[in-house]
Amino acid sequence: MPTLIVTAHPDPDSLTSHLAQRLRDALSAGSVEIADLAAEDFDPRFTLADRHTYRTGTDAPADVVAEQRRVDQATDLVLVFPVWWWSMPALLKGWIDRVFVNGWAFDVDPDGGMRRNLGRLRVHLVPIAEDDVGVYERHGYGEAFRTQVEHGIVDYCGARRGVTVFIHESEHDVVVVRERAVASAVDIVRRAITTDNA
């Protein structure tokens, strides 16, 4: 399974779920897994056990180890999610908080340095936003998102940046406009994955 698509939306009929399925269908059969965090009832709460893992780099909870193993099998990770309050949903953020930890995504050196462990992984982002691109440009939301997620998470763990494709105006009344945006995003991510893995 070279591609793992992770979604975080409670509605199985959402545009998020639809786009993830379209992307799965556009990629090679058998080489893609969708991890639907809501359907799988992933617990995003960062507990004392998670804090212990973060501090020591050891003893990760079993559900976290299972998620890390899924990511370990992938060459490409695609996060498909709605933009809520200009960021990712708490469910996806909790997955990152719990899974991308010391001892796996990176190692903290007791002498002050660190080793970034995810250099074999390429991460693609497909945020699905209600607002148009002009709102994002005027308020700097796109740049803030890129700083927080691309630099703050992907780069921090040493993973390689793939493509970031925003779907703007996701609730557009004209279905053909929304469908064009979805088709374009699927094609951009598909080409990024298949071209680099050829």
pLDDT in tens, 111-161: 778 899 999 999 999 999 887 787 888 888 888 889 999 999 999 999 999
**Confidence (pTM):** 0.93
The rounded distance, in Å, linking the Cα atoms of 86 and 195 is 31
The rounded distance, in Å, linking the Cα atoms of 71 and 52 is 21
| SS3 of residue 5 by DSSP | strand
In this structure, the strands spanning 106-108 and 114-116 are antiparallel
- The DSSP letter of residue 28 is P
- In this predicted structure, the answer to whether residue 198 has a pLDDT above a threshold of 60 is no
> Sheet containing 76-82: which strands, arranged edge to edge?
32-36, 3-7, 76-82, 122-128, 160-164
